[in-house]
Amino acid sequence: MPPGLVERTVALIREHPECFWFRHPEARIDTPADIRLVIERLREYGGRRAWRAAQELHQCLSPRCNRTS
């Protein structure tokens, strides 16, 4: 995963708690599947700002974002 992606994901969870009512407070983000779940919840339960943040996370999971120059 790209550097900083987990930290950004955790920050978005804090910024949009209404999207993560089901999430245990001590749950960790360890895998791309965890990030995909965050993306889905931002899209499903969040407003426009959350949806845009989900798009950014989704783009960072793509193979192009994982390449190093």
**Domain-wise residue ranges, the chain:** 5-66
The pLDDT tens digits of the residues spanning 28-61 come to 999 999 999 999 999 999 999 999 999 999 998 8
Per-residue pLDDT band for 4 (boundaries 50, 70, 90) equals: confident
Query: Stretch 13-18: mean pLDDT, rounded?
Result: 93
Global confidence as pTM: 0.83
Q: What is the pLDDT of residue 69?
A: 42
d(CA 22, CA 69): 38
CA distances from residue 61 to 3, 11, 24, 52, 67 in whole angstroms, order as listed: 11, 17, 23, 15, 11
